[in-house]
Chain A
Amino acid sequence: MGRIVILGGGVSGHTAASFCKKWVGKKHEVVVITPNSKWNWIPSNIWVGVGKMSTEQVTFELAPIYKKQGITYIQAKALSLHPDGGLDSDSPYVTYEHTHKDKMGQQETVTYDYMINATGPKLNFSATEGLGPEHGHTVSVCTPQHAVHASEELKKVIEVMKSGKRQKILIGTGHSSATCQGAAFEYMFNVEHELNEAGVRDMADLKWISNEFFLGDFGIAGLHLKKGGYVTSSKVFAESLFAERGIEWIVKAGVYKIESGIVHYENLDGQKKTEAFDFSMLIPSFSGVGLKAFDKSGADMTEKIFAANGFLKVDADYTKKPFAEWRAADWPKTYQNPTYKNLFAIGIAFAPPHAISKPMQSTNGTNISPAPPRTGMPSAMIGKAVAKTVTDMIKGKITEPQGNHSMTEMGAACVASTGSGFFNGSAVAMTVFPVVPDYEKYPGVGRSLKYTFGEVGLAGHWIKHLLHHLFLHKAKFRPGWSFIPE
């Protein structure tokens, strides 16, 4: 019996685990090592962050679900990879530290035949002084607990507004190279909707701050879509959404420090500026979760397997080159580590070859531009593709990964709700195809104008709700789960 070990039971890891088990059946073991006892449908944290949903509605216990499915579940965080084995055995293994209260802090090891790293991002609040809900002055919606706190803080500022005092609300990115602008974008609209519902919209000054070169860049170099007889940039689309709601914006801003009520940022002109706030949600930068790698003798070889940002190296072209020379072919197709053929990385855990948005530097030399996002849909699709590769390899059907699962061949859908209610809700529904622009295949715009589109309306709101329920249904392995697309 072989063993597939998956590190991280988030969006991509859970998808990989579910398909690995479905395809290997009882012949091989599938192990998931993940520190949380609950699975979280992260996109719906936005609704928790405005008090529209509870944490129970966006999470569920993993243990019973994995038990039912026959997946071995270890509630722990992985610490190190030993792909050559150790002194007494050649079997590759991983060390982990338990996070369940019964075994808290205990360290153990598990050997593997195939390993899939799906550990997602470390929320790197400490990269920006004063950022984040734990040691800083801003709120976050990146975890359900953070989102609950954000909603409580939002309620407080709403009360202040009700008492007649204007409040400044600042939402966006909290680091010069942060990504996940889409989440902040959606949270902004939900906050705006919430203020309207509370009858205090006229008492709030809403402002966006981000490291994007233009509003609507989203870390994916923006997008173009057909609208009203024109090929229009997402800049026009995003600015329209903001202007319609009376939201101001600051772009080209690298936030580097936050004090109580004041954000410090540098812009591309090298100017250091400040922005006041009463309530602020800023997305931190992401890095790898800090896994180490050791060779057989126990010598540290982390740099051989992981890129400098802590993400695992895969079959991408990591040669440093200028934006003009970036090619679709730079992006990984199989997510296999070039050194260890039984090691894969999926979702946010794989090291991208470079950004998607054009890198920008301030006159002081600070990089102020988004890192490349790997959103839910591509993360899950990559998880499923790698599950297929690994299960075919463990069954001996193939010796090398097959197919091209590059983000330059993959689309993504993003639905950002801008208000709730079955008859009066609204959302921005956007799709991009492909996620990473291919300027050779689609000259100029980099993407298919047929399959890249965006629109605002009630329909998008229904889709957002549908996705919430469908993905939770799928993640809980309810009947027909495997037919629901990623």
Chain B
Amino acid sequence: MNKESQIKPYEPSSGAALPTRFTLYMRQNFIYQVFRFIMINIKMTIIIWRSH
């Protein structure tokens, strides 16, 4: 879906960053998300380890 078509000029929300079609696609791309799942878990594990 084309998110930029939602922008209403001069509304407070018009200053917000909107995801491009590619970003939206990558958020749901299974293979990329498996990779992100691993990366986020590694980062969270490091944070937990550093917090204890």
Shortest Cβ distance from A9 into chain B, in angstroms?
22
Distance of A384 Cα from B44 Cα, bound (Å)? 18
Question: Across the interface, do A431 and B47 meet the contact criterion of CB distance under 8 Å?
Answer: yes
The interface bits of chain B over 25-52 (1 if a CB of A lies within 8 angstroms of the residue's CB, else 0) are 0111010011011001101111110111
Interface positions, chain A 237-267, Cβ under 8 Å from B, are 239-240, 242-244, 246, 248-249
Question: Across the interface, do B27 and A456 meet the contact criterion of CB distance under 8 Å?
Answer: yes
Given contacts A243-B6, A463-B40, contact A457 B52 (CB under 8 A): no
Of the residues A236, A243, A413, A453, contact of B13 by C-beta under 8 Å: A243
Question: Across the interface, do A240 and B50 meet the contact criterion of CB distance under 8 Å?
Answer: no
Of the residues B3, B36, B51, contact of A409 by C-beta under 8 Å: B51
Question: Across the interface, do B48 and A455 meet the contact criterion of CB distance under 8 Å?
Answer: no
Question: Across the interface, do A453 and B43 meet the contact criterion of CB distance under 8 Å?
Answer: yes
Of the residues B3, B16, B18, B43, contact of A431 by C-beta under 8 Å: B43
Question: Across the interface, do B33 and A485 meet the contact criterion of CB distance under 8 Å?
Answer: no
Interface positions, chain A 400-425, Cβ under 8 Å from B, are 409-411, 413, 423-424
- A458 CB-CB contact with B under 8 Å: yes
Distance of A301 Cα from B6 Cα, bound (Å)? 59
Question: Across the interface, do A485 and B16 meet the contact criterion of CB distance under 8 Å?
Answer: no
Chain B residues, Cβ within 8 Å of A451: 43, 46-47, 50
Interface positions, chain A 12-50, Cβ under 8 Å from B, are none
Question: Across the interface, do A239 and B51 meet the contact criterion of CB distance under 8 Å?
Answer: no
Shortest Cβ distance from A388 into chain B, in angstroms?
10
Shortest Cβ distance from B52 into chain A, in angstroms?
7
Of the residues B19, B26, B27, B45, contact of A240 by C-beta under 8 Å: B19
Shortest Cβ distance from A383 into chain B, in angstroms?
12
Residue in chain A with minimal CB distance to B26:
A457
Of the residues A410, A423, A426, contact of B30 by C-beta under 8 Å: A423
Question: Across the interface, do B37 and A462 meet the contact criterion of CB distance under 8 Å?
Answer: yes
Shortest Cβ distance from A387 into chain B, in angstroms?
13
Residue in chain B with minimal CB distance to A411:
B47
- B15 CB-CB contact with A under 8 Å: yes
Chain B residues, Cβ within 8 Å of A212: none
Shortest Cβ distance from A208 into chain B, in angstroms?
11
Interface residues on B, range: 20 to 34
Question: Across the interface, do A246 and B6 meet the contact criterion of CB distance under 8 Å?
Answer: yes
Residue in chain B with minimal CB distance to A434:
B51
Shortest Cβ distance from B42 into chain A, in angstroms?
11
- B9 CB-CB contact with A under 8 Å: no
Task: Give the most central of B34, B43, B51: most A CB within 10 Å.
Answer: B51
Residue in chain A with minimal CB distance to B36:
A459
Distance of A413 Cα from B47 Cα, bound (Å)? 8
Question: Across the interface, do A455 and B51 meet the contact criterion of CB distance under 8 Å?
Answer: no
Question: Across the interface, do B48 and A411 meet the contact criterion of CB distance under 8 Å?
Answer: yes
- A381 CB-CB contact with B under 8 Å: yes
Chain A residues, Cβ within 8 Å of B40: 429, 455, 459-460, 463
Distance of A485 Cα from B47 Cα, bound (Å)? 11
Of the residues A426, A433, A459, contact of B37 by C-beta under 8 Å: A459
Question: Across the interface, do B16 and A411 meet the contact criterion of CB distance under 8 Å?
Answer: no
Question: Across the interface, do B50 and A458 meet the contact criterion of CB distance under 8 Å?
Answer: no
Distance of A236 Cα from B13 Cα, bound (Å)? 11
Interface positions, chain A 377-391, Cβ under 8 Å from B, are 381, 384-385
Given contacts A458-B28, A459-B34, contact A239 B50 (CB under 8 A): no
Question: Across the interface, do B47 and A458 meet the contact criterion of CB distance under 8 Å?
Answer: no
- A486 CB-CB contact with B under 8 Å: yes
Distance of A456 Cα from B27 Cα, bound (Å)? 7
Interface positions, chain A 306-363, Cβ under 8 Å from B, are none
Question: Across the interface, do B13 and A239 meet the contact criterion of CB distance under 8 Å?
Answer: yes
Residue in chain A with minimal CB distance to B46:
A451
Chain B residues, Cβ within 8 Å of A424: 28
Shortest Cβ distance from A465 into chain B, in angstroms?
11
Shortest Cβ distance from B18 into chain A, in angstroms?
6
Given contacts A429-B40, A453-B43, A457-B36, contact A236 B16 (CB under 8 A): yes
With A244-B18, A423-B28, A463-B41 known, 18 other A-B pairs at CB within 8 A are A242-B16, A244-B3, A244-B6, A246-B6, A411-B47, A411-B48, A423-B30, A424-B28, A426-B27, A429-B40, A431-B43, A433-B51, A453-B43, A457-B27, A459-B33, A459-B36, A462-B37, A463-B37
Question: Would you mind naming 10 contact pairs between A and B with Cβ atoms under 8 Å apart?
Answer: A239-B15, A240-B17, A243-B6, A244-B18, A248-B13, A411-B48, A413-B44, A451-B43, A457-B33, A463-B40
Give me the interface of B with A, judged by CB distance under 8 Å.
3, 6-7, 12-19, 26-28, 30, 33-34, 36-37, 40-41, 43-48, 50-52
